[in-house]
Copies of this chain bind each other. A is one copy, B any other.
Amino acid sequence: MMIFQAEIDVMPKKEILDPQGKAVTGSMKNLGLAEIQNIRIGKHISLQIEAESADIAEQKVDQACKSLLANLIMESYTFKIAQL
């Protein structure tokens, strides 16, 4: 068995409004950082997984994203895995 580290990003879909990101974009102006635009805020999830191969680890992380970590109606996800 090998252990893999997965780094997952779960973001609001492009066609979905992100009110938190919009509010933070507005705050940037007050900080003198008006050149920062289009802030979108999602989740970053790191985890470790034990698997027989990188392929199996990827399948299981994908299953975890689909069934628990991301709400596929409103969010999309991407991830990378690396052997530890």
Nearest chain-B residue to A67 (Cβ)?
B31
Inter-subunit contact A39/B45 (CB<8 Å) = yes
| A10 proximity list for chain B (CB < 8 A) | 44
**Size band of the interface chain A makes with B:** 35 or more
Inter-subunit contact A64/B9 (CB<8 Å) = no
Residue A35 interfacial (CB < 8 Å): yes
Residue A54 interfacial (CB < 8 Å): no
**CB within 8 Å of B: which residues of A?**
7, 9-11, 21, 24-25, 27-28, 31, 33, 35-51, 60-61, 63-64, 67-69
Nearest 9 A/B pairs, CB to CB: A44-B44, A39-B47, A35-B50, A9-B44, A38-B48, A42-B44, A36-B49, A40-B46, A37-B48
